[in-house]
Every structure is written in structure tokens, then in C-alpha cells.
Structure 1
């Protein structure tokens, strides 16, 4: 089950939605046989959301997915009462898909780096030479990348992203930063040899392969930083506990060439 959670979180979340819907449907049918009372559709949606969130948590999905499961059905029911065209719901699905395309293609859902993590990264980067080169593998909408680029104007920052909407947002935001560039590029097609610091906030699934790539490409003395996720069998040279609600931590490896 843990392997399924790591490899296919989006599909597992969809499964919990279907399972919760089935359970609520069965409960409504049984209740209708013994009592005339009928709950409101909003109450049904809230019940379905609570069950879906509980199932997601039980199966090991992250809090982000649990929150999405909790709110999906109530939001859908609330929206269905408004005079919205039918394409609105298809548009919502496509929007989520474009933001989380990596979940299916690279087994990497959209994770956003928190403000506390950025502060610790700033402390780490202050130890780098003034003109260091930094890359974020899977930069999302580039909030963290642009924040660092503003604080280190002499350094050069690159973000790569393959979720179409996330890339478009990041690329547009980076246009006004001369020391920041965003590329529509897979992390597996990215040459890491020209960077002093490689940062990632991915998932457990690609970390072993990323370590192989880093060992093959990153020069001696360069720094690999992973937010939260470990490299199997490779203890980090430095571990920074972030003490946030996600129990995040930064794992740092100094490459030896």
C-alpha cells in the first residue's frame, strides 16, 4: 500500500472519493428503508468529504490530499446550485490536471515550499560563493524560486517544470527577474553539471533515480538539497528540522564527484 501511495497519489485519492461516495450511497439507501427523514444535499456532501478525507489519511496520503478530498464534494454541490454552465465542472477538472500533471508523468504532485523553509534555505545559500548557480527541480509556480532570486541578485536561478499551467505561471512571473529563468523541461533531461546547488521537493518515488543522476552529473563540492524526502540508503550529510505542520526537514548532501 505504501508503494501505491508513493507512486500514484492522485489515483488513490480518486479511489477514496469513489469509496466514500459508495459508502454514503449505501447509508442513504438503508436509512430510507427505516425512516422518512432525508438529509440535505450539503449534509450528504459534508459526510462524503469527511469519509473521503478519513480514508485518504488512513491510506497514508498527505494532508494536502486529505484537505482536497474533504472539500471536493461539498464544493461541487454548492457550485451545482448556482447557474453555472456544464463546462464549468470540466474546466475545474482540467485546471487541477494541468497543475498536477507531474503526478501522472513523473510521480511528483504539486508541493509548495513554505516560508519557513525559504528562511532556512537563505541561511544555507549565504554560505555559497556570491555568483552561485541554483536550480529548483519542479519549481511549481516559482514562488520560492523568485523569493530567493530577489534576495541573491548576484546569483543565477533556474526552475524546471512540466505541469503546463504551473510552468506558464512560473515563466510569466520570472520574466521581470533578470537572474531567474524557468524552463519547460523534465528534471530527467536537465543537466545538473552546471549548478552549485540543486534543490528538489518531489516525492519518495524518484529520489533513488535522482541520486544516480546527481552522482553522475553534479561536480565535487556542489550541494544537493531535498525537502523532506530521503535518498534510500544514503544518509544526508546535514539534516535541518523545520518544525512545521508537515514535519518537514531539509536533507543536504555535499557531492564528492
Structure 2
């Protein structure tokens, strides 16, 4: 914003009118995002943030709507300000692939760390009713949806707890869809706690400096890859 204000002072004709100022501010912020090599999704955020903020002010919406939106986001993305992983949803194709994998592994116990709304844990429990499925989710709203979806499944245990508090020794297969920021620490935890011969599967994000046993390409919209690590 400071960069745009300097340009506005230097070239007032270029910045005549609020809409033009907003447009140039968004473009400048997006260009700086590219220069600083931020993740690609920041580009539309920088382009749209100020125009959307002005549009919301122009609509003169009641203040309780903003409070409600903030509370909803807090319930979904609980703990991200402390470094927790945001909500990522796995596709049906990923659930199908995992169902086939746990069958080949003859798994008796499966853990989904950071289970979200149960996009993996619930379909796996439905397809393998004799397999114990434990789902770990900390955010209140996804946990509530997960608990509701799995209410009729006797083989599912839902834990509203931090995944770092889990003990991985009792699982044949552990699945995660988290973030690159935690994969080094998680890899250490997995190798320290999981039993030899068990299988650790990470969706989309590999563990640095740990060659996977195999990488499975999923034919979904995201082009998901499952990184499979044999303990």
C-alpha cells in the first residue's frame, strides 16, 4: 500500500478516482507477490482484497454478519494462528485408493491424522467394518461434522485432540493430508512410533529426505499423489 501511495503522490493524474487507485494497488501487490515468490494463490488474494473490502463497505451490511463470518472461520480453521494445519478435503478417488490399499495390507487398525469432516475416515470405515478406524481432528466444526457422519459406525473412534498427542504404535496404516510445514517433524514421529512393517501414507506432501516405497498418482481434479512409506 505504501508503494501505491508514493506513486499516487508522484503521479496524481494516474491515480485520479478511487477505483483506479484500488486497481493499481491490487496490481502492484500482486506483482510484488510474484517478485517475492509467494505461493501462487496469493496473486488473486492481492488483486481482489481491496476491491472486495470497498465493495463490502458500499453494501453497508450489518456488523453482526462480519462477526458471524469470523466465528465460522475460527471454528473451521481452529488453531492455524498457532501453526496448526488448515482444513484440506480429500477426494472420493483418494478414499477409493486408500480402501484398496488397506485391503492389500490386511490392516486391522487405521488412523487418519487431521481427519477434517471425515472424507477418508468415514468411507473407509463403511467399506471395512471389521477394521478399527481412528480419526483425529482438533477444529471444532469439522470435528462436529465428522462425529455426526460417523455416529452409526461402531468401528470408528473420533478424537477431538491434537494429532501430536496420538500414539501411532497401534496402527497398521496411518494417513495424513497436512502441510509441507509439518512433514519433517511428522516424519520423525512416524519413524519413532510406528511398528516395523506398517505403512505411512501422506497425501500431496512428501517427507523430506525419506524416499517413499511408492508414489500413487490419483486421477482426481487436484492430481493428488499419495506418498507411501514402509516403516
Smaller-chain TM-score range?
0.7 to 0.9
1:237/1:36 Cα in 2 relative to 1: closer, same or farther (>3 Å)? closer
1:224 match: secondary structure: strand
- 1:122 matched to 2:99: yes
1:80/1:171 Cα in 2 relative to 1: closer, same or farther (>3 Å)? farther
Cα pair 1:102 1:110 within 8 Å, conserved: no
Structure 1 Cα separation of the partners of residues 210 and 84 of structure 2: 21
Structure 1 Cα separation of the partners of residues 24 and 93 of structure 2: 34
Query: Aligned match of 2:17 in 38, 44, 68?
Result: 38
Match of residue 159 from structure 1: 135
The RMSD of aligned alpha carbons is: 3.1
TM-score by length of 1: 0.73
Structure 1 Cα separation of the partners of residues 214 and 15 of structure 2: 63
Structure 2 Cα separation of the partners of residues 108 and 211 of structure 1: 15
Decide which moves more: 196-205 or 109-118.
Answer: 109-118
Query: Aligned match of 1:172 in 130, 148, 167?
Result: 148
1:252 match: secondary structure: strand
- Larger-gyration structure (1/2): 2
Structure 2 Cα separation of the partners of residues 183 and 159 of structure 1: 6
Structure 2 Cα separation of the partners of residues 111 and 104 of structure 1: 16
Shift of 1:224: 0.5
Cα pair 1:149 1:155 within 8 Å, conserved: yes
Match of residue 239 from structure 1: 215
1:167 match: secondary structure: helix
Deviation sequence 1:156-196 (CA, Å, 0-9, x none): 22111112222222222222322222211111111111111
Shift of 1:239: 1.0
Match of residue 221 from structure 1: 197
Deviation sequence 1:93-151 (CA, Å, 0-9, x none): 2322332234333442222212332232222122132x621111111122222122222
TM-score by length of 2: 0.80
- 1:98 matched to 2:75: yes
Count how many residue pairs are aligned between Structure 1 and Structure 2: 230
Structure 2 Cα separation of the partners of residues 220 and 244 of structure 1: 31
Shift of 1:34: 1.5
Unpaired segments ≥5 residues, structure 2: none
1:212/1:238 Cα in 2 relative to 1: closer, same or farther (>3 Å)? same
Cα pair 1:141 1:169 within 8 Å, conserved: yes
Cα pair 1:107 1:205 within 8 Å, conserved: no
- Show the 5 A alignment for 1:176-215: 176-215=152-191
